[in-house]
């Protein structure tokens, strides 16, 4: 095991898949010489050359359209969109082309494409470069959506995404790139659609993904001092969703808190809460609560930016409310 940065785990996954399969190539703004704005493709140009590590024009429409066409013709492109906020510039390709092509052709044409993009606040980048927009993509049939929280997860999931024959929107939080974690020396894959229990507990299930996994783990540690044993469930993959693991955890704890950085209104947490209510109502001992980003544009100033996101204090307060509120059902 090596302890490496999240961004280096991304580069390692890309390099391994490019060595394994010559149809894999990387494209995006500044991904070649400088290794991308977050250095997650650093070193790839030296090994694979400009034909397989391609700088593109500053046009998300061109990137997404070209990548979709290349995938339809047999390549396996990994297209980087610098910020998830910018996908709107080429959203028709995502909404109506890459996601629908397999269905429209009855499986005769597949689109084995990974759209790597970055989300999240924490860098004071302003309201148009700090959003978490995963709910947009989970609402589009035909797309898979992945949001890893650790170096181990990002490498194993990215390799699986590249090998998948469907378009995958692979969202990396910009606040995770310099975090470190243990990653095996040898090859490994993590199947899409398999959640991971980052901490086991018996009193309440905290369901989360991406950078808020770290927030939830810190909150769970603080909750131990209040006599509350929280389980932290990292979804890792939003589509497909591992509802079996959710069921196992909720059936054990009977209480659920959902935490995500995206705005609360219309967030993916609402979908999870609805599914749990529909399918696991008899297992619940308390109403489901959410701790999410506030329903405002992400502030640029540091303190408001932090305070508008889920914090450890907010998570601790919500869990205490759930656990001290008594039984939901007799």
Instruction: Render the burial of 165-191: b for 16+ CB within 10 Å, e for the rest.
Output: ebbbbbbbbbbbbebebebeeeeeebe
The CA–CA distances, whole Å, from 30 to 13, 105, 119, 125, 203 equal 19, 34, 18, 18, 47
pLDDT at 325 over 90: no
Report the share of the chain in percent with pLDDT over 70. 98
**Do 2-183 and 196-323 come out as alike in CATH topology?**
yes
Token pair for 110: 């597949």
- Domain definitions of the chain by residue range: 2-183, 196-323
> Model-level pTM?
0.96
pLDDT tens track for 214-252: 999 999 999 999 999 999 999 999 999 999 999 999 999
Contact between 261 and 121 under an 8 Å Cβ cutoff? The reply is yes
Instruction: Report which of 8, 42, 313 is spatially closest to residue 150, judged by C-alpha positions.
Output: 8
pLDDT of 62 reads 98
Q: How far apart are the C-alpha atoms of 11 and 126, rounded to whole Å?
A: 27
CATH code for the domain defined by 196-323: 3.40.50.920
What is 2-183's CATH topology? Rossmann fold (3.40.50)
DSSP letter (8 states) at residue 210: T
139 CB burial (10 A radius; 0-12, 13-18, 19+): middle
């Amino acid at each position: 095991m090596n302890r490496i940065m999240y961004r280096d785990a991304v580069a390692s996954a890309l390099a391994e898949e490019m060595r394994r399969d010559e149809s894999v190539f990387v494209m995006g703004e500044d991904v070649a010489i400088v290794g991308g704005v977050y250095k997650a493709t650093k070193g790839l140009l030296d090994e694979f050359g400009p034909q397989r590590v391609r700088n593109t024009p500053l046009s998300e429409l061109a990137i997404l359209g070209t990548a979709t066409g290349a995938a339809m013709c047999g390549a396996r492109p990994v297209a980087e969109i610098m910020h998830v906020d910018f996908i709107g510039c080429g959203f028709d390709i995502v909404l109506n082309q890459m996601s629908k092509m397999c269905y429209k052709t009855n499986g005769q044409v597949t689109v084995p494409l990974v759209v790597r993009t970055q989300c999240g606040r924490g860098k004071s980048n302003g309201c148009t470069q700090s959003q978490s927009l995963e709910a947009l993509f989970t609402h589009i049939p035909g797309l898979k959506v992945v949001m890893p929280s650790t170096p181990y997860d990002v490498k194993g999931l990215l390799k699986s995404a590249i090998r998948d024959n469907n378009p995958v929107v692979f969202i990396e939080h910009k606040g995770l790139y310099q975090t470190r974690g243990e990653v095996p020396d040898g090859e490994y894959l993590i199947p899409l659609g398999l959640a991971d229990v980052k901490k086991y507990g018996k009193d309440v299930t905290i369901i989360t993904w991406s950078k808020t996994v770290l927030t939830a783990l810190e909150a769970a540690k603080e909750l131990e001092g209040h006599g509350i044993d929280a389980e932290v469930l990292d979804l890792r993959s939003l589509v497909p969703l591992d509802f079996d693991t959710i069921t196992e955890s909720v059936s054990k704890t009977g209480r659920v808190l959902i935490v995500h950085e995206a705005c609360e209104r219309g967030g993916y947490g609402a979908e999870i809460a609805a599914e749990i209510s529909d399918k696991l109502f008899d297992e619940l001992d308390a109403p489901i609560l959410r701790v999410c980003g506030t329903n405002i544009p992400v502030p640029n100033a540091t303190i408001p930016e932090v305070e508008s996101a889920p914090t450890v204090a907010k998570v601790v307060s919500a869990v205490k409310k759930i656990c001290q509120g008594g039984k939901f059902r007799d």
